Amino acid sequence: MTEITLDIVRHGETFLNTLNRAQGWIDFDLNDHGRQQAAATGEALKERDYRLVVSSDLKRAVQTRDIIIQHLLHQPQQVYQDPNFREVFFGYYEGLPSDMNWRVIAQQHGYQDHDDIIRHESLEAGRNMMHDMDPTGQAESYEHVAARARAGMRQILKKSHDGDHVLLVTHGTFIRTIADALGADTVGNFPTNAGMTRVDVTEKHIKLIEYNHKFSD
């Protein structure tokens, strides 16, 4: 049975991140600070021997991936991008202020904000509330995001050897969903730009080792 260690890094900062807007599938470049964050993470990980490096196909993830690779002392044998690792798609709420989105959704269900939903119900409940309230019907449900994550990880396992270290560069809400499914407390603890979450993965299970390790401000 193949078992790998997967280092999951969130992309560096973008302009929309500085405005705290729901970025989703909007395809923004890294800003200067985001490139510096990616470089700091690359420097911190430079001695890791990643046989395989994977990213979302959105520009901010690809750019972060490539900056990190530039710092690695051992160059990966395979590099590819997979749309399964895109950020959660927020549908109607894409590009709008995140706090406003969640205030509107939460108050319709008797809560104050997103963290209040998670405390009283769950992250899954909040994701599904957004899905149900989206007038376009396009915001992803929790299960749809989880299914994408499983599909992407199956592809990584197919391309990996037992004992490999693999680097995955993806997105904040996507990482938060994985961590939540594995039992992490994510209330008030959103993945930082260019921060890392680590999991062990086999065909039968995924185990959370570390959530939201920060390499830079």
Positions marked active-site: 11, 87
In SS3 terms, the chain reads as CCCEEEEEEECCCEHHHHCCECCCCCCCCECHHHHHHHHHHHHHCCCCCEEEEEECCCHHHHHHHHHHHHHCCCCCCEEEECHHHCCCCCHHHCCCEHHHHHHHHHHHCCCCCHHHHHHHCCHHHHHHHHHHHCCCCCCCCHHHHHHHHHHHHHHHHHHCCCCCEEEEEECHHHHHHHHHHCCCCCCCCCCCCCCEEEEEECCCCEEEEEEEECCCC
